[in-house]
Structure 1
Amino acid sequence: MRTHFDAELEERLIRYCSIDSQSDEDSTSQPSTARQFDMLNLLVEELRGIGAQDVHLTDYGTVLATVPATAEGPTIGFLAHVDTAPAFNATGVKPRVIRGYNGGPIRFPDAPELELSPEVSPYLGTRLGHDIVTASGTTLLGADDKSGVAVIMTAARHLIANPQIAHGPIRIAFTPDEEIGRGVDPRLAGDLKADFAYTLDGGAAGEIEYESFSADGAVVKIEGISVHPGTARDKLVNALHLGAKIIATLPQARMTPETTEGREGFLMIYEMRGTAAECELRFILRDFELDGLAAKGALLRQVCEAVAATEPRARITCEIRPQYRNMRYWLEKDMAPVELAQGACRDLGIEPVSVPIRGGTDGSRLTEMGVPCPNLFTGMQELHGPREWISVQDMALSTRVVLRLVERAAQG
């Protein structure tokens, strides 16, 4: 079952996932956390070590590099992000490999009560005999998106070591802060200098994604009136109570992530913090269509206004900011990058599948900025939590697709 690239991909993934590179939405620095430099600086060293050219770390925290052309062809970019999600613990990740998965439940040494099985993750049941990488149960793994980093690094090393493989110029970008929506600096599109690009940030084998959510973020701030609770009658205005009322007033059915699927959008509160005097609620708004996204923003504002009307002594504000837009709006005008990837998959006997991403990638922003950038699979599953896992053999398939893709592009 082991293939040509498995050992390198496994070694890279384990090394990368062991590095804490979690991003931080509350930080205003770029990147948002200094620990991301542990990955970024390592990748600069590794790229130089394999013979990549033009390797440098930009002042906005992105590693850029070039694999020189061996033939005429378009300049193709490949991107992956180095940060891991703030949604779950990412400190002290201990990756481990389950060799030749036999179809049964997978237990976690640091969380004996936790179980990963095909009942929990149906795709796992299709990976019998594969080498499965997970964490130890108390952290996420970080295959999102260190699997993409490993695939790009492995493909780049192979191309540089085998100059007989015909391909055009290849540009590599490793970005920070994708998980908090800051992965694509406005300067990246120009600095990448690619005709088109691909993010390696996808799931099941064969997935080639060119449609993502459109996304906004919202911050609701509530200012109440703080009074000693012993003398609070008719004086205290509890900001936390008003925040809870906003949450309770928002519709739950067919509106939250846990009640939606497919092409249905959602409105999700993901953080509430503060005191009786003042508190803050943070929401994400997602929809595949702009009118649906706008309707969710209008609903949130309407609820905030309705709750504010019940307590005129409080001050409630709702600020909504754009995050990214559905890349389909641009890619459907020129599907050549998508068709190139689909053809590469078919050449390798992999049937390509295109499903809408219930999320976004750096490619969403990059496409909007003028560099068409669909998303390719790496195999990652059960993201942002302790059951996160990936098949080494899926990563090898992804690497082969990248290599076949650049060859196909050079053939014209």
Structure 2
Amino acid sequence: MTHPFTSSAASRFLRYVTFDTQSDERSQSYPSTPGQLVLLNRLVDELKELGVADASIDQYGYVMAALPATPGKEQVPAIGFIAHVDTSPEVSGANVRPIVHKNYDGRDLVLPDDPSLVLREADNPELKGQHGHDIITASGLTLLGSDDKSGVAEIMAAAEYLATHPDIPHGPIKIGFTPDEEVGRGTQYFDVTRFGARFAYTLDGPQCGELEIENFSADAMTVTFKGFNAHPGYAKGRMVSAVKLASEFVHRLPRHGLSPETTQGYEGYVHPHTIEGGVERSVVKMLLRDFATRGLDEKARMLTDLAEEVVRPFPTASVEVERHESYRNMKEVLDRYPEVIEHA
């Protein structure tokens, strides 16, 4: 069955992806980039246009709104729906040009702005289940931003549908749009009391109809190596290159496990995703993932011990390790409230 893009969700999505909302983990502001606020403010305007009068944005960029219960459902517990507007800092989100591939039939999908990028069923088995559907991709020069503007569009489309169909009974519904999820700070200033729902669902999954009830616990780690610089012509016995210390640290990471490219399922990993710096100071940024929070502690100790081992032979070198909590496995909470899963 073909689903033409005449729906509110799809048309909204095609608009939302054109907003550059790439987040920036190096930024000290909140949200980390001004572009996120442009879309967040636009969402407030659109919610008000739908008649959601209390839609608002706070000083941190969190958008919240409420659809009141229909008559007779006022005492039903409020339920929330949440999505994030930011896109990954790893790939450009500027000047996104969405391409609609009509009536997909298994053919190769060539991205026109970079014909070397081709989506093939052989490489992407999930495409086999999409025959007869239209598919949206980026043009080849940027990411698309479906994570998580598809969730944003779905929530907005649902709000529009409920607002225009008051005959559908429902309890109080809370809506939340957040910034900076991709850099691990999406809930940093989220005001749960203001949001007003004890339980909520995040629309940020890969497959239609799929309900995720657990996820990795995640931390970020910054490992800073400090070397000793000297003029290259007089460096013998004196220079200690922080670049080489950082490189040695990465080289000593496990090669046959504990990495995204060697693990699957419930297997945790550590992932060095950025190296930057020079002879005097070099920084390795790491992602830590484990389904059990205690597993993060074990991985953090392993990385700290390894970093200290790398600098130990060099008295003029040092290393600093910073660890920041990103998020935790939702199952640790959901196990205490199984009704959230039962009613999904």
TM-score class normalised by the smaller sequence: over 0.9
Cα RMSD, aligned residues only: 1.3
Q: How does 1:53-202 map to 2 (within 5 A)?
A: 53-70=53-70, 71-72=72-73, 73-202=76-205
Give the secondary structure class of the aligned counterpart of 1:201.
coil
Give the 3 Å change call, closer, same or farther, for CA 158–5 of structure 1 in structure 2. farther
Residues 1:259 and 2:276 aligned together: no
User: In structure 2, what is the Cα distance between the partners aligned to 1:120 and 1:89?
Assistant: 23
Instruction: Name the aligned partner's letter for residue 291 of structure 2.
Output: F
> Are the counterparts in 1 of residues 3 and 134 from structure 2 also a CA contact under 8 Å?
no
> Are the counterparts in 1 of residues 60 and 189 from structure 2 also a CA contact under 8 Å?
no
Question: Which residue matches 1:47?
Answer: 47
> Which moved further from structure 2: 261-270 or 303-312?
303-312
Residues 1:211 and 2:214 aligned together: yes
1:148-177, CA deviations, whole angstroms, 9 ceiling, x for partnerless residues?
A: 010000000000111000000111011000
User: In structure 2, what is the Cα distance between the partners aligned to 1:77 and 1:5?
Assistant: 26
User: In structure 2, what is the Cα distance between the partners aligned to 1:2 and 1:121?
Assistant: 20
Detail structure 1 runs of 4+ shifted over 6 Å in the superposition: none
Structure 2, unpaired ranges of 5+: none
User: In structure 1, what is the Cα distance between the partners aligned to 2:270 and 2:205?
Assistant: 23
User: In structure 1, what is the Cα distance between the partners aligned to 2:255 and 2:64?
Assistant: 43
Instruction: Name the aligned partner's letter for residue 80 of structure 2.
Output: G
User: In structure 1, what is the Cα distance between the partners aligned to 2:122 and 2:237?
Assistant: 53
The one of the two structures with greater contact order (alpha-carbon pairs below 8 A, sep at least 6) is 1
User: In structure 2, what is the Cα distance between the partners aligned to 1:218 and 1:160?
Assistant: 44
Question: Which residue matches 1:361?
Answer: none
Structure 1, unpaired ranges of 5+: 342-412
Question: Which residue matches 1:249?
Answer: 252
> Are the counterparts in 2 of residues 60 and 185 from structure 1 also a CA contact under 8 Å?
no
Deviation at 1:185, TM superposition (A): 3.2
User: In structure 1, what is the Cα distance between the partners aligned to 2:205 and 2:298?
Assistant: 28
Deviation at 1:5, TM superposition (A): 7.9
> Are the counterparts in 1 of residues 69 and 171 from structure 2 also a CA contact under 8 Å?
yes
Deviation at 1:10, TM superposition (A): 1.8
> Which moved further from structure 2: 182-191 or 112-121?
182-191
User: In structure 2, what is the Cα distance between the partners aligned to 1:171 and 1:20?
Assistant: 26
Residues 1:238 and 2:245 aligned together: no
Deviation at 1:258, TM superposition (A): 0.7
1:277-315, CA deviations, whole angstroms, 9 ceiling, x for partnerless residues?
A: 111111011000122211111110110111111212101
User: In structure 2, what is the Cα distance between the partners aligned to 1:317 and 1:254?
Assistant: 25
1:56-110, CA deviations, whole angstroms, 9 ceiling, x for partnerless residues?
A: 1011111111111104122011001011110111111100100100111100101
Deviation at 1:4, TM superposition (A): 8.7
Give the secondary structure class of the aligned counterpart of 2:107.
coil
Higher helix share: 1
> Which moved further from structure 2: 189-198 or 265-274?
189-198
User: In structure 1, what is the Cα distance between the partners aligned to 2:116 and 2:82?
Assistant: 36
> Are the counterparts in 2 of residues 96 and 133 from structure 1 also a CA contact under 8 Å?
yes
Give the secondary structure class of the aligned counterpart of 2:56.
strand
Question: Which residue matches 2:14?
Answer: 14
> Which moved further from structure 2: 263-272 or 285-294?
285-294
> Are the counterparts in 2 of residues 53 and 67 from structure 1 also a CA contact under 8 Å?
no
Total equivalences in the alignment: 341
User: In structure 1, what is the Cα distance between the partners aligned to 2:3 and 2:219?
Assistant: 42
User: In structure 1, what is the Cα distance between the partners aligned to 2:7 and 2:204?
Assistant: 20
TM-score normalised by length of structure 1:
0.81
User: In structure 2, what is the Cα distance between the partners aligned to 1:101 and 1:2?
Assistant: 9
